[in-house]
Amino acid sequence: MQRDSVLMEITHYLLRDGVGSEQAYATARLALADALACLFEALTYPEAMKLVGPLVPGTQTPFGARVPGTSYALDPMRAAFSTTALIRWLDYNDTWLAKEWGHPSDNLGAILAVADHQSRLRRARGEAPYRVEDLLALAIKAYEVQGVLALENALNRVGFDHVHWVKAASAGVAALLYGGGEEEVFSALSHAFLDGAALRTYRHFPNTGPRKSWAAADAAARGVFLAWAATRGEPGYATALSAPTWGFEAVVLKAPVVLARPLGSYVMENVLFKVAYPAEFHGQTAVEAGFALHKELKDPLEEVEEILIHTQEAGKRIIDKPGPFKNPADRDHSLQYMTAVALLFGELRYEHYLEPTASDPRIPALIARMRVEEDPEFTRAYLDPDRRAIPNRVRLRLRDGRVLERLVEYPLGHPRRREESRPLLRQKLQRALRLALPEGRARALEHLLLDDPNLLEMPVDRFLQALAPEAP
């Protein structure tokens, strides 16, 4: 039986050697450091830690995969879940925006877990472990699979969640790490699509909740399981996408799955970093505009009569949320909430989504004066593959008749502002490491991740050992 061409194209891409430009590898190293910054900061939040670890307390796993920043050595599925949950929890990791969106570093939990486990097994057998350079190569491939699928295949339009593309990408690269060839990689991918996709219910009012912080972890862990099963002989399904009535295209997407461009290293080269504040990415430029306007206001609540936010269609549809807000997951996906905080405080940290800030009466008072409208030109700029802008304009009408406004087209962390962002990404890593580790350990890890010329040759199991809470 002829196999689905899209699954075969992804399979052949994953098996290809030499994928990725120098720019892609440099960005992948930055992406790994950034994801670990998110993870180490999340370690300090009890809510983030409650789902981390083994299902049965005290379980011992020989050759288990380490969860960075913790003492856990777990089976690869639980390690993938735990690592991705910590990377994702604060909504601070890198982002990809298209007709579908998502966070490509969600795949790093699967890559780190399986690579560490397999490296520990290899070392025990006297074989060479994977190296950090192998991690970066697989990250480039996982980012590309998730991101190119997202360019034209909009799961959100039919009510499903973007983490399905994480599951597919994680399944494919995990199959490679388990030693799979064409049959096994194809099988893992086909099983990922047979799973269907999760509903987006937990991301939208009135059901927004903390599941959105571990949904990608669930997808990455499932990808690991499907790869494991595929490399133990589970057969693939030739028309998992295209089967009439029963296939993914008929049941889930209601359209053919397409690859909008050839698979290479485009996504890694163009990924967006959340540099300065944890907030849903469609609103990041509104926050930056709010910071600038904050400097011109003495008291926003007293001076501002009306606030008009012009955004892209995706921003209008996803994060136009005036409240009420039930939890931090609600607040960090509200364009109005994040803009109000920016105007009031001139900064935005994860703590602003928690009490006591969450109960500050000035926030709903400002939100009551806001209108959010789509600007069609902003939507065109957002969808243009050569621009990939994420514009927001915040316009204030003051009680004295003046009008103040700021337009920001490209957020910090965008490829067009990459050099401007590098020192801020370093500061983000420095801060996160010092929240979780003693000064000396934090300094050593910062050097290893960003500056050590020997990092790429480092064995993966030694690398994970270096990320443990106590120095090796």
In the three-class reduction of DSSP (H, G, I as helix; E, B as strand; rest coil), residue 110 is classed as helix
pTM, to two decimals: 0.90
b (16+ CB within 10 A) / e for 452-470: eeebeebbbbebbebbbee
Q: CB of 69 within 8 A of CB of 436? A: yes
Q: Could you tell me what percent of the chain has a pLDDT over 90?
A: 89
> Longest C-alpha distance within the chain, in Å?
76
Summarised one tens digit per residue, pLDDT across range 46-60 is 999 999 999 999 999
User: What pLDDT is stored for residue 385 in this prediction?
Assistant: 83
Confidence of residue 29 (pLDDT cuts 50, 70, 90): very high
Report d(CA 243, CA 370) in Å as an integer.
47
Q: 58-74 pLDDT, tens per residue?
A: 999 999 999 999 999 99
Band of pLDDT at residue 210, cut at 50, 70 and 90: very high
Locate the DSSP E strands across 278-413: 304-311, 370-374, 392-398, 403-408
333 close to 203: Cβ distance less than 8 angstroms:
yes
- The three-class DSSP label of residue 310 is strand
Q: What is the mean pLDDT of residues 369-379?
A: 97
Give the tens place of pLDDT for each residue, 295-331.
Answer: 999 999 899 999 999 999 999 988 999 999 988 888 9
Looking at residue 175, its amino acid is A
Please check the confidence at residue 36 and state whether its pLDDT lies above 70: yes
> What average pLDDT score do residues 279-294 get?
94
3-state secondary structure 10-60: HHHHHHCCCCCCHHHHHHHHHHHHHHHHHHHHHCCCHHHHCCCCCCCCCCC
Per-residue confidence band for 204, with pLDDT thresholds at 50, 70 and 90: confident
Are the beta carbons of 311 and 392 closer than 8 angstroms? yes
**For the residues 86-106, what does the mean pLDDT come to?**
94
Flag whether pLDDT at 377 surpasses 80: yes
Q: What is the pLDDT of residue 34?
A: 97
pLDDT tens digits for 161-194?
999 999 999 999 999 999 999 999 999 999 999 9
Can you give the pLDDT at residue 329?
84
Q: What is the pLDDT of residue 296?
A: 94
State the pLDDT at residue 455: 98
Residue percentage of the chain with pLDDT more than 70: 100
Mean pLDDT of the chain: 95
In 293-451 the beta strands, taken as DSSP E runs, fall at 304-311, 370-374, 392-398, 403-408
Q: Residue 2 burial by CB count (10 A; 0-12/13-18/19+): exposed, middle or buried? A: exposed
List of domains in the chain: 5-270 (1.10.4100.10), 281-411 (3.30.1330.120)
Mean pLDDT of 8-14: 98
Nearest alpha carbon to residue 115 among 162, 62, 175, 61: 175
pLDDT tens sequence across 108-151: 999 999 999 999 999 999 999 999 999 999 999 999 999 999 99
Residue 471 has pLDDT above 70, yes or no: no
Q: Is the pLDDT of residue 101 over 70?
A: yes
**472 pLDDT above the threshold of 80:** no
Cα dihedral 371, 161, 269, 426 in deg (nearest 10)? 70
